[in-house]
Structure 1
Amino acid sequence: MKPILIDFPEEFYTERLFIRKSMPGDGKAVYEAIHASLKELKPWMPWAHKEQSEEEIEANIREAHAKFLTREDLRLHIFNKDTGEFIASSGLHRINWNIPKFEIGYWIDTRYSGKGYMTEAVTGITDFAFTDLKARRLEIRCDYKNSKSRAIPEKLGYSLEGILKNEGISADGKDIRDTCIYAKY
Structure 2
Amino acid sequence: MEWAFKAGEQSLRLIPADPAFYSLFQQALNASYLDHSEFLPWPREYTSAEQALEFLLKARKEFNSETGERRWLIVTEDGQALIGCIGLKPRTRKRYVVGYWANTEQSGKGYMRAALTHLLNNLPEFTFYLTASSANARSRRLAEAVGFVLIRIHLGARQSERHGEQDTCVYRLPGKPQIKKSPQERGRTVVS
TM-score scaled by length of structure 1: 0.83
Higher RCO (CA-CA < 8 Å; seq separation 6+):
1
Which amino acid in structure 2 is aligned with residue 143 of structure 1? S
Residue 114 (structure 1) aligns with: 108
Equivalent pairs counted in the alignment come to 169
Tell me, yes or no, if the aligned pair for 1:13 and 1:124 is still in contact at 8 Å: no
8 Å contact 2:12–2:77 — kept in the other structure? yes
Q: Which residue of 1 aligns with 2:73?
A: 77
Alignment of 1:114-153 (within 5 A): 114-130=108-124, 134-135=125-126, 137-153=127-143
**1-side partners of 2:55 and 2:146: how far apart?**
30
Counterpart of 1:156, as a letter, is V
CA distance in 1: counterparts of 2:118 and 2:159, whole angstroms: 30
Separation in structure 2 between the aligned mates of residue 129 and residue 103 of structure 1, nearest angstrom? 13
Could you list the structure 1 runs, at least 4 aligned residues long, displaced by more than 4 angstroms after superposition: 172-176
The aligned counterpart of 1:12 is 3
Stretches of structure 1 lacking an aligned partner (at least 5 in a row): 1-9
Residues 13/169 of structure 1: CA separation in 2 closer, same or farther (3 Å cut) = farther
1:157-176 pair list within 5 angstroms: 157-170=147-160, 175-176=164-165
Superposition RMSD in Å: 2.0
Per residue, is there more helix in 1 or in 2?
A: 1
* Equivalent residue number for residue 6 of structure 1: none
Aligned counterpart in structure 2 of residue 180 of structure 1, from 162, 169, 174: 169
Measured in 1, the distance between the counterparts of 2:86 and 2:133 equals 16
1:58 is displaced (CA, Å) by 1.0
Percent identity over the alignment? Answer: 25
